[in-house]
Amino acid sequence: MTETISVEPVRGKQGLRDFLDLPFALYRKDPHWVAPLYLERLEHLDPGKNPYYRHAEVELFLARKNGRTVGRISAQHCRLRSARYQDGVGQFGFLEAEDDPQVFAALFAAASGWLRQRGLGRIQGPFSFSINDEMGLLVQGFDTPPSMMMGHALPYYAPRLEEQGFARVKDVIAYDFTDTGGMPRALKSAHDKALADRDVTLRPLDKKKLMQELEIIVAIANDAWSENWGFVPWTQEEMTALGNNLKMLVTGDYIAIAEYRGEPAAMAVSLPNINEWIAGLGGRLLPFGWAKLAWHLLARPPNSVRMPLMGVRRKYHGTPLGAVLGMAAIARVRNYHAGRGTRRAELSWILEDNLPMRRMIEGFGGRPYKTYRIFERAIP
């Protein structure tokens, strides 16, 4: 007998709890999945706390079969993105579901219908919620845990999307870098050139001037990435939220700013890979998880870090100086972590066709080890 699948918007605390609980059942046999922290996910989904909601409309959906939760998805319309591209594209995210084509079909019918009601003609994703958050569907690299703010997935997800008429739009790459102790030749060369040039200054972030420093980082990022595929600029509110997170997670040396003739020209930002610290907590900090997390934060350096932000101002793109500035900023961050005993880093994510950046990373020993894919289809 065919079981009826219903899809409804998330309503109330129980609906939100079901939305957050579903992955625990789906990934219970996957040793590489890391349960996100409930409190962090609740804040991310809270319109009063996540600045994304200031410029976007969002709906969360749950799929149920005979009263049992079997799938979830978000649909979102980002007004900043629509104003920039004017391409009639809406987005989906937070996709999780049992391996049932009918469940995937029902979820995408609901998300597509919601976007269609808002005048949009195409659906693209996953983005949870935006290109500046967790994005892309893992299609290669299932055999290792995700780094912080990067997604994990089950291998059947991509085939189920393709069955629903989705096609690949863009791949992004995560690079793994294992530090063997000595500075890679390419990084050392760039670092030495930068130090020898009196016009170049390398410095850490000054946490005493956190908001001013964040304005520099965001200004470089918004300039450096402005012509990248799918780019949406950071807002002031998002910058403030970033600052609140950085204040708790990092010292100034996690971040390097390269200045040329007194002007900030490049930056590199690293973060501790807290996924290694929260693995095994089951998403909950109580009763003792908070103590474990605080101990890691305060008492010891991380085993690995992630570099989510790196950029060089556009006027230096394609120039020898630009390459030196970018690699020197990375080298400064690398030297700090290597001096504390951290030997592994993930540099992510990198657009598949950003060949200058990919060559630079591969030039100092980074290797691609995970691929995340953005899919798109017309809304029926």
| pLDDT, tens digit (0-9, with 9 covering 90-100), for 333-350 | 999 999 999 999 999 999
| Region 41-45 average pLDDT | 94
Structural domain harbouring 296: 181-342
* Residues facing 5 on adjacent strands: 65
Write the pLDDT tens digit of every residue in 308-326: 999 999 999 999 999 999 9
The pLDDT of residue 300: 80
- Residue 125 shares a structural domain with residue 216: no
Whole-model pTM above 0.85?
yes
DSSP string, 102-157: HHHHHHHHHHHHHHHTTT--EEEE-EES-TTSEESEEEE-TTSPPPTT-----TTH
The pLDDT of residue 339: 94
227 located within any domain? yes
CATH number for the domain including 77?
A: 3.40.630.30
CA dihedral 11, 22, 373, 234 (to 10 degrees): 50
Task: Residue 67: count other Cβ atoms within 10 Å of its Cβ.
Answer: 6
- Residue 150 shares a structural domain with residue 296: no
- Among 160-164, 287-291, 361-365, name the most confident range: 160-164
Residue 345 CA to residue 330 CA, distance in Å, equals 11
Q: Number of C-alpha atoms within 13 angstroms, CB side, residue 366?
A: 26
Give the domain-ending residue among 114, 139, 172: 172
Copy the structure tokens of residue 215.
Answer: 């304005």
pLDDT at 297 over 70: no
The pLDDT of residue 296: 63
3-state secondary structure of 139: strand
* Residues facing 219 on adjacent strands: none
Copy the structure tokens of residue 23.
Answer: 């992955």
Residue 136 CA to residue 126 CA, distance in Å, equals 5
354 located within any domain? no
The bridge status of strand 122-125 relative to strand 89-97 is parallel
- Residue 188 shares a structural domain with residue 325: yes
The bridge status of strand 167-178 relative to strand 134-135 is unpaired
- Residue 221 shares a structural domain with residue 312: yes
Domain count, the chain: 2
The DSSP code for 358 is H
**Residues making up the chain, counted from first to last:** 380
